[in-house]
Amino acid sequence: MVATSTRRDATAAWRHVDVVLLGAVLIAACLGLVMIYSATHQKLEQELSDPGFYLKRQAVWMVLGLGVMAFFALVDYRVFRDFAPVIFVGTVVVLLMVLSPFGSSSRGTQAWFQLGPFQFQPSEWAKLAVIICLAAYCSQYRGELDWNRTISILGLSAIPMGLIYLQPDLGTALVFVAILMGVLLVAGARPRHLALLTVIGILGVVTVFQLGVLKQYQLDRLGAFLDPQVDNQRAAYHTLNQSKIAIGAGGFTGKGLFKGTQTNLSYVPEQNTDFIFTVVGEELGFVGSALLLALFAVIVWRTWRTASLAKDLYGTLVCVGVLAMFVFQIFENAGMTMGIMPITGIPLPFLSYGGSSTLAAFAAVGLVLNVHMRRFS
Amino acid sequence: MMTTSRGGESAPLRLGVLGIVVVSLFAALLARLWYLQVMDSQTFQVEAKTNQVRVVYEQAPRGRILDRNGKVLVDNRGSQTITVDRNQVKDKPEVVGRLAALLNIPLAELRKRMADVRFSPYTPVPVADEVPEETIVYLREHQDEFPGVAAPTRPERAYPNGSLAAHLLGYVGQTTKEELDARRSQGYREGDEIGKQGVERAYEQDLRGIPGSKRLQVNSAGKVLGPPLQESSPQQGRDLFLTIDLDVQTVAENALAQGLDATRHVYDKASKKDFAAPAGSVVVLDPRDGSIVAMASNPTFDPGQFVNGIKPDVFRALTDPAAHFPLNNRATQGLYSAGSTFKLVTSIAAVEAGLIDARTTVLDGGSFRLNKCKGEKCIFRNAGGVAHGRVNLTRALTVSSDVFYYQLGAQFWNLRSQHGDAMQDVARRLGLGQKTQIPLSPEAAGRVPDPTTRRRLHDQNPAAFPNGDWRTGDNINLAIGQGEMAVTPLQLATAYATFANGGSVWEPRVVDKVVDQQRRIHRQVEPVKLRTVSIPPVVRDPILAGLTGVIASGEGTAHSAFAGFPLNRMTVAGKTGTAQVAKKQDTALFVAFAPADNPQYVVAVVMEESGFGGSVAAPVARRILEKLAGGTDTGAAVVGGTE
């Protein structure tokens, strides 16, 4: 290897790009385009709109995402470490702004900036920012996280997490918890501290339920998973039930592309975003869904592999953060459509329609590619 | 160096732990996927199907009901209705407001009608019936202001003759929960119409038709997508040709109603007030095969009131005891003592048993005294105490000599070891005290009393029947049709028909044939002979002579009622009856058949609290027979007569 290349010498690093990860991500994103078209074209046709409306927009996001990914791959990941304090402060400021009158709300959640015809959702980017900052902060302790350091890490993460919870976006806040736990585990937190945090986390969830801190819709959605019989949770239960019917009705080989009745007749709500997995389940069946999970497994595996190959602890922790984010989102999203996880609005990476989430996911992959490329430099 | 640069000895181990967690999460997802899509997929596939397809039913028009000559008794007419498609007006309250104003009903009332749960969400709900033409025109011209509002015509029952033959035809109404539960397998649904009484009920399966259905694809919001996947139009039910003759039925009802009305102005010397004459019934049947030619029950009702659901106050009025229960069909449900019309039975039994023959005479001194018995209760008198002198069987019938039959009743009791309950046996053979099997329910069975029934009644209800023993006096009373006898007018008609036709007991027939909408005969309802009773000439001849005399003979009890009747065109045989009823005025009865030598019609008339059969019931029968003899109905009033 060219040991003499400088940190900003990209030409050398390009040779070590992880084509398997790149390929898996591209396949997943293309599948996402097809699924979004399937979920939306029928309804759009009925409304006499362009059936490819969402498809085209998502394709634009995908192309932009590739650019963003290139950017996050080409700029040496260690540069981000140098700017970590700035990134952190900037993220907190933006999250504060979205809660201010500058932000716009939809369905009771204030989580967007309206920029012309597009919406910008800062919480998606905040996930990446927190991954970089956590990795930068933890890596300086070289695997020695005592109680005080662990507490300080928790305190720092609590700020953006709390702001997102206030939007309120419980799902994304939970992604932060996953990222935090993953990074703490690999960064060297003591096992007993991790155990303690887990216990506190569980107690925290129980307390939140008991004190009624959660808004009614959050309880309803979570409750639909816990107890589908209760009456006032009917709407959420209905969603869950229709979602399970869609996936179950797909059977082993699926009903065929664009032939899902649950999908075409819009029985499952938000099917191009949070419930996109049901389209895969209904139209492509067990074969298609399992292949999609396999595709995700490849992405996660390559990220894990990059984490273990990384040149420094910071790179490892960045990959671990991305891995935790992806795994939690995949498990939570797919799990909720199948009724084994509570319903929260988290996108399925590369599949769900949405600009901010798509760009952020590509950016996250860019970071992993970045660490992989520079594992020798 | 590599190890330390990655930070800490335990990093690979910790990454391993992370890997295990990740693998187990993916394994959980895959396992769940396998369960949903492979193991339990069948359930979900069924649920997905029922999700998207809704079936909407449309009731078929019922078959028509026609008389024996094809004249329409019950028809369907297109009722101009207004319907609202709830899906289309869901988020347009202004449309509902406009419609309420157009129909001139309160908004709350319209909303209530729209919320009718009997209709599927995919069926437009009818909110108004029999809408005036100008409203429909306005609606059509301003259709853009009324999206989701339509004005279809809906078939509903129409009765061109009003209340005519109401009891026999019956009426239709919405299925009750019980009716629905019993018929769900036959495809009945909430809100379906069903025959509630009479022919509408008895021939429900023929009349109903086949509902149409549409299989619609709907989305999650219940919006119908595209044309129906499958569609079948409703098929009208089959038409019924009844045995009823519309003209005879009309005369029968008019004669009965006017007869009752006239009787209400006649003074009853026994109770010292005018006759109440609240109710009555007429049966006209063909003794040759049991076909019902006319069947009237008064008071009556208008089956049209039941169309689209009867109003509660109207229904209360129809079920009010003070109105004498107009919904009851007295021809098949009314129970009466037969009075002297029972003497036909006693006569047959007596000749059969050999107690008398045509030549046997009795001296009728106006009363009959029971042997070895003292006191007033042992004396049985003729009606009005009239003495008829020497009477044989024929004359006893013609003048209605009670003494003649008292004597026979006593004899039967004395010789009961030899003849058993001979009068009751004959009565039952002729069809009295049992259901005639007419296909109209409910039908009362009634009762022919004998020592066993007396004992049973007493044991069941000692207060109402204080005497459990059967005595000679009971037999004497039975001989003239008094006592605990309870027979329906239809049973009386059947019994006389059996005598008239020479001994065949026919099941009364109401429907002649069932015809489908292509005018092909679907089913011919054949007459059913239940049994044959032997009535040899030695029995028949003197009785027939006596019954003919009732009308033709100058001393016959119905002679004056038939004064001026064209007996040369149609001879009539019959028997009057006046039955005493505890705490009520007498029941007037008259049963006749004609022509006497070749009977084609039996006419039975029973009028409650109306007095003498000869003076009240016979004139009603006369009017009907006049019509049957080919005359025109003159609307003759009640004429007097004696028992």
What is the per-residue burial (b if ≥16 Cβ within 10 Å, else e) of B512-521?
A: bbbbbeeeee
Residue in B17, B18, B47 nearest the CB of A245: B47
Name the pLDDT band for A1 (thresholds 50, 70, 90): very low
| Strand residue runs (E) in B59-105 | 65-66, 72-80, 82-84
Please, which residues 336-365 of chain A have a Cβ atom closer than 8 Å to chain B? Answer: 338-340
Residue in A307, A330, A335 nearest the CB of B15: A307
Name the pLDDT band for A230 (thresholds 50, 70, 90): very low
H or E segment to which residue B293 belongs: strand B291-298
Residue in A139, A286, A311 nearest the CB of B33: A286
Name the pLDDT band for B205 (thresholds 50, 70, 90): very high
> With an 8 Å Cβ cutoff, are B18 and A185 in contact?
yes
> With an 8 Å Cβ cutoff, are A338 and B28 in contact?
no
DSSP helix/strand/coil, A142: coil
DSSP state string for A205-243: HHHHHHHT-S-HHHHHHHHHHH-TT-GGGHHHHHHHHHH
Find the closest chain B residue to A307 by CA distance. Answer: B15
Find the closest chain B residue to A316 by CA distance. Answer: B6
Mean pLDDT on B223-250: 86
Mean pLDDT on A298-327: 95
Q: How far apart are CA B231 and CA B88, in angstroms?
A: 22
Q: Are A123 and A172 in contact (CB under 8 A)?
A: yes
Residue from B258, B257, B273, B262 nearest B585 by CA:
B273
Cβ contacts (< 8 Å) between B7 and chain A: which residues? 139, 142-143, 187-188, 312-313, 316
> With an 8 Å Cβ cutoff, are A247 and B36 in contact?
yes
DSSP helix/strand/coil, B24: helix
Does A305 contact B at CB distance below 8 Å? Answer: no
Q: How far apart are CA A75 and CA A353, in angstroms?
A: 27
DSSP state string for A20-31: HHHHHHHHHHHH
The letter for the amino acid at A54 is Y
Provide the ipTM: 0.91
Torsional class of B277: left (φ above 0), alpha (ψ -120 to 50), beta (otherwise): left
> With an 8 Å Cβ cutoff, are B15 and A308 in contact?
yes
Contacts of B249 (CB under 8 A, 6+ apart): B67, B164, B165, B293, B294, B295, B296
Q: Is the pLDDT of residue B220 over 80?
A: no
Q: What is the pLDDT of residue B481?
A: 93
| pTM > 0.90 | no
Does A267 contact B at CB distance below 8 Å? Answer: yes
Q: What is the pLDDT of residue B634?
A: 65
Q: What is the pLDDT of residue B6?
A: 38
Q: What is the pLDDT of residue B91?
A: 76
> With an 8 Å Cβ cutoff, are B29 and A338 in contact?
yes
Torsional class of B612: left (φ above 0), alpha (ψ -120 to 50), beta (otherwise): beta
Q: Is the pLDDT of residue B643 over 60?
A: no
CA distance B216 to chain A (A): 13
Q: Is the pLDDT of residue B22 over 90?
A: yes
> With an 8 Å Cβ cutoff, are B41 and A188 in contact?
no
Residue from B165, B298, B211 nearest B620 by CA:
B298
> With an 8 Å Cβ cutoff, are B5 and A311 in contact?
yes
Q: Are B206 and B522 in contact (CB under 8 A)?
A: yes
Q: How far apart are CA B536 and CA B502, in angstroms?
A: 8
The letter for the amino acid at A111 is A
Interface of B with A (CB under 8 A): 4-12, 14-15, 17-19, 22, 25-26, 28-30, 32-34, 36-38, 40-41, 43-45, 47-49, 51-52, 217-221, 225
Instruction: For residue B115, give the DSSP letter.
Output: T
Q: Is the pLDDT of residue B51 over 80?
A: no
> With an 8 Å Cβ cutoff, are B37 and A286 in contact?
yes
Mean pLDDT on B84-106: 85
Q: Are A122 and A357 in contact (CB under 8 A)?
A: no
Name the pLDDT band for B181 (thresholds 50, 70, 90): confident
Cβ contacts (< 8 Å) between A300 and chain B: which residues? 22, 26
Does A74 contact B at CB distance below 8 Å? Answer: no
Q: What is the pLDDT of residue A228?
A: 40
Mean pLDDT on B386-412: 93
pLDDT in tens, B145-160: 888 888 877 788 999 9
Please, which residues 165-204 of chain A have a Cβ atom closer than 8 Å to chain B? Answer: 182, 185-188
pLDDT in tens, B435-467: 999 999 889 999 999 999 889 888 988 888 888
Rg (CA), chain A: 21
Find the closest chain B residue to A319 by CA distance. Answer: B15
Name the pLDDT band for B93 (thresholds 50, 70, 90): confident
Residue B232's φ and ψ, nearest 5 degrees, are -135, 135
Strand partners for B128? B82
CA distance B217 to chain A (A): 9
pLDDT in tens, A136-175: 999 988 778 888 889 999 999 999 999 998 888 888 888 9
Candidate from A260-274, B270-284, B380-394 with smallest mean pLDDT: A260-274
Q: What is the mean pLDDT of chain A?
A: 85
Cβ contacts (< 8 Å) between B34 and chain A: which residues? 286
Residue in A186, A252, A331 nearest the CB of B29: A331
Q: How far apart are CA B181 and CA B189, in angstroms?
A: 9
Instruction: For residue A168, give the DSSP letter.
Output: T
Q: Is the pLDDT of residue A210 over 70?
A: no
Q: What is the mean pLDDT of chain B?
A: 88
pLDDT in tens, B575-611: 999 999 988 999 999 999 999 999 999 999 999 999 9
Residue from B628, B633, B631, B638 nearest B607 by CA:
B638
Q: Could you tell me which residue, B196 or A323, shows the higher pLDDT?
A: A323
Mean pLDDT on B300-326: 86
CA distance A295 to chain B (A): 11
Residue in B18, B32, B38 nearest the CB of A182: B18
Task: Return the residue matching tokens 């009025």.
Answer: B317
Q: Is the pLDDT of residue B232 over 80?
A: yes
CA distance B116 to chain A (A): 23
Residue from A240, A338, A317, A49 nearest B34 by CA:
A338
CA distance B226 to chain A (A): 10
Q: Is the pLDDT of residue A269 over 80?
A: no
Q: Is the pLDDT of residue B119 over 90?
A: no
H or E segment to which residue A56 belongs: helix A53-74
Q: Is the pLDDT of residue B424 over 70?
A: yes
How many helices (H) and strands (E) are present in chain A, helices listed first? 15, 3
Residue in A248, A252, A316 nearest the CB of B44: A248
Contacts of A206 (CB under 8 A, 6+ apart): none
Q: What is the pLDDT of residue A13?
A: 73
Cβ contacts (< 8 Å) between B11 and chain A: which residues? 143, 186, 188, 308, 313, 316
Mean pLDDT on A336-360: 90
Q: What is the pLDDT of residue B337?
A: 94
Q: What is the pLDDT of residue A235?
A: 58
Q: How far apart are CA B394 and CA B20, in angstroms?
A: 115
Does A231 contact B at CB distance below 8 Å? Answer: no
Residue in A144, A185, A330 nearest the CB of B14: A185
Torsional class of B364: left (φ above 0), alpha (ψ -120 to 50), beta (otherwise): beta
pLDDT in tens, A50-70: 889 999 999 999 999 999 999
SS3 readout for B225-275:
EEEEEEEECCECCCEEEECCCHHHHHHHHHHHHHHHHHHCCCEECCCCEEC
Name the pLDDT band for A218 (thresholds 50, 70, 90): low
Mutate to test the interface with B, among A140, A141, A265 (most CBs of B within 10 A): A265
Residue in A249, A313, A324 nearest the CB of B44: A249
Contacts of B47 (CB under 8 A, 6+ apart): A245, A248, A249
Residue B409's φ and ψ, nearest 5 degrees, are -60, -45
Name the pLDDT band for A226 (thresholds 50, 70, 90): very low
> With an 8 Å Cβ cutoff, are A245 and B44 in contact?
yes
Tokens at B158, concatenated: 């129409």
CA distance A350 to chain B (A): 17
Residue in B5, B14, B221 nearest the CB of A312: B5
Cβ contacts (< 8 Å) between B12 and chain A: which residues? 308
Residue in A187, A286, A308 nearest the CB of B34: A286
CA distance B5 to chain A (A): 5
